[in-house]
Amino acid sequence: MRFPRSSGILLHPTSLPGPWGIGDLGPSAYAFVDFLAAAGQSLWQILPLGPTGYGDSPYQCFSAFAGNPLLVSLDALIQRGLLSYDEAASAAAERHLSPDVVYYGEVLNLKLPLLRRAFERVLAGAAPDLAGDFRAFQAAQAGWLADYALFMALKDAHAGQPWNAWEPPLRDRQPEALARARQEHAATIAFQEFLQFLFFHQWSHLKAYANQQGIAIIGDAPIFVAYDSADVWANRDLFFLDASGNPTVVAGVPPDYFSATGQRWGNPLYCWREMAQDGYRWWVERMRAVFAQVDVLRLDHFRGFAAYWEVPAEEETAIKGRWVRGPGADLFTRLEAALGSLPIIAEDLGLITPDVHALRDQFDFPGMKVLQFAFDTPENPYLPHNHVPNCVVYTGTHDNNTSVGWFQGLTEEERERVRAYLGRDGADIAWDLLRLALMSVADLVVIPFQDVLRLGAEARMNTPGLLGQNWAWRFRAEALNDGLAGGLRFLTAVYDRLPPALKPAKEQEGELEYQPVDV
């Protein structure tokens, strides 16, 4: 579907400021929405919101349906009387927390005990209205919540081991074993469900506030799910797994200019033929859940729906893989039939073939253009003079260096090509590229907040292939100032991307009408 000419900012909630070691869904998130509105923006793009595990990547989550409890706002619980500020501050003082970097282990050890304390107070009768909402949430979300909460309780009972290392009756989901586990771990299951309730309760209020301010939320969904997830454990028949639950083939990408061995991602691959038998029920429910959380969805690795790289699980690299046809238009036709119009952005970066473009264009999904990839030849499709309106322009993505860091890493010859195209000296390269994006004919523009702040490589969000030191960047509250908002709003107005409500009314007097006459 087509989108109106507009712009926004890419920022994951973990990067927001605040006193609890990680950005969350509390006051700073609302302040960021206010900043977006003041800056004339219409979009807030985030990364996946799911519960992260080893490596802290939001693209490797324990569930495609659940939310990340670390994003739950302690301030909101303090306001409801479920925690006191002093007990939260005292617990925080015992942890190594930083205003600039997320230390996930420290945040986990801070938040989980406090969240459990809040849960115990709800059970004891505090906030009775919240308790009623919790019961309603449990009933409404039972389709995924019951399996997820049990999965997390069992992971906790097995010291975090992946589900294929559990004893076979639990690994294989034998009904008697599951019934016993639900009874034995009832308290932990209820706590996990409460964490999900808090997340979605707070997220729904934040999203409603953003929408009221004219800000649409762009979410993000990876095509594949993590192997160690409730999704795979509860739906083994939908994936290529052996009798013990181990993957037989895994996802990746083939060797290319950047990697001689390709990339072996390790995610289990879908049995698309099996999924088609019930009308892609799992995908319909997944997308229904996602579109209840966000207004627009960036669908990661879109090319995998046309064809994906299948790697034998025993291979250590992705060299000995093969291309396998994906579900193609059949999946999206079924999704449209079930959900209506699909506000999807197709992440069509990387090795793209004509069948991927055809699938994207069949459903009128906008693709992506990244300016950092643009400056080698005049024919490069990422250069603005080659853009088409139905696309989204980024200066960079969460996997790229910041624009300042990127520019500093170029050779002098490469920098000269950039300067020549921009007609600028590159002294303010982040905003030079920001301006270039905004002036494009593209319907949508999204700028990473690091580039709005003109930050260098120290603010990079993720370096693919590097384990650790990723997903940890945060900014400080003073960055959200009127001067920055005003400058961004000015350029947004210059390039006609302000929301309709902010655009000045057209002058009525003095307008010239074109009325041809017969002679």
The set of catalytic residues is 300, 347, 399
Specify the DSSP class assigned to residue 43: E
**Cβ-count burial 453-470 (b if 16+ within 10 Å, e if not):** bbbbeebbbbeeeeeeeb
Dist. CA 220–CA 49, nearest whole Å: 8
Start-to-end CA span in the chain (Å): 44
Dist. CA 352–CA 354, nearest whole Å: 7
**Around Cβ 512, how many Cβ atoms within 10 Å?**
5
Beta bridge partners of 393: 369, 445
What percentage of the chain's residues is helix, strand, coil (to nearest 5)? 45, 10, 40
Parallel, antiparallel or unpaired: strands 6-10 and 367-370: unpaired
Helices and strands (H, E) in the chain, number of each type:
19, 12
CA nearest to 85, candidates 19, 14, 13, 29: 19
CA nearest to 371, candidates 435, 427, 437: 437
Dist. CA 299–CA 281, nearest whole Å: 18
Reduced to 3 states (helix: H, G, I; strand: E, B; else coil), residue 148 is helix
Beta bridge partners of 10: 45, 448
Dist. CA 269–CA 252, nearest whole Å: 10
Q: Is 373 left (phi over 0), alpha (psi -120 to 50) or beta?
A: alpha
Reduced to 3 states (helix: H, G, I; strand: E, B; else coil), residue 90 is helix
Residue with tokens 């006193």: 19
Dist. CA 484–CA 488, nearest whole Å: 6
- H or E stretch at 436: helix 429-439
Dist. CA 502–CA 40, nearest whole Å: 7
- DSSP H helical segments within 49-141, as ranges? 74-79, 85-93, 104-123, 128-140
